[in-house]
Amino acid sequence: MKKRVYLDYSATTPMKQEVLDEMLPYFTEKFGNPSSIHSFGREAKQAIDLSREQLAKSIGAKADEIFFTGGGSEADNWAIKGIAYANRDKGNHIITTKIEHHAVLHTCEYLEKNGFEVTYLEVDAHGRINIDDLKSAIKDQTILITIMFANNEIGTIQPIKEIGQIAKEKKVIFHVDAVQAFGNIKINVNDLNIDLMSLSAHKVYGPKGIGALYIRKGVKIHSLIHGGAQERRRRAGTENLPGIVGFGKAAALADENLEAHIQHVKVLRDKLIKGIMEKVGYVRLNGHPEHRLPGNANFAFEFIEGESLLLSLDMLGIAGSSGSACTSGSLDPSHVLMALGLSHEIAHGSLRLTIGDFTTEEDIDYVLQELPKVVDRLRQMSPLYEKVKGGQK
Full DSSP string of 27-68: GTTT---TT--SHHHHHHHHHHHHHHHHHHHHHT--GGGEEE
Number of Cβ within 10 Å of residue 171's Cβ equals 10
Q: Which of 319, 284, 305, 383 is nearest to 349 (CA)?
A: 305
Determine whether 326 is an active site residue: yes
Rounded to whole angstroms, the Cα distance separating 194 from 200 reads 17
Q: Tell me which H or E stretch contains 112.
A: helix 102-112
238, 35 Cβ separation under 8 angstroms: yes
Q: Which of 345, 298, 305 is nearest to 127 (CA)?
A: 298
Query: Strand, coil or helix: what is 40?
Result: helix
Annotated binding residues for [2Fe-2S] cluster, as ranges?
Answer: 326
Burial of 389 (0-12, 13-18, 19+ CB in 10 A): middle
Rounded to whole angstroms, the Cα distance separating 243 from 51 reads 10
Rounded to whole angstroms, the Cα distance separating 117 from 220 reads 20
Give the residues across from 235 on adjacent strands: none
Non-local (6+) Cβ contacts of 193 within 8 A are 161, 164, 165, 167, 168, 174
Annotated binding residues for pyridoxal 5'-phosphate, as ranges?
Answer: 72-73, 152, 180, 200-202, 238
For residue 48, give Cα distances in angstroms to 44, 45, 65, 211, 260.
6, 5, 14, 13, 28
DSSP 237: S
Extended strands (E) in 180-334 = 196-200, 211-215, 283-285, 296-301, 318-319
Catalytic residue among 267, 326, 338, 368: 326
- 94 phi, psi to nearest 5 deg: -125, 140
Number of Cβ within 10 Å of residue 106's Cβ equals 14
> Which amino acid appears at position 200 of this protein?
S
Catalytic residues, which ones?
326
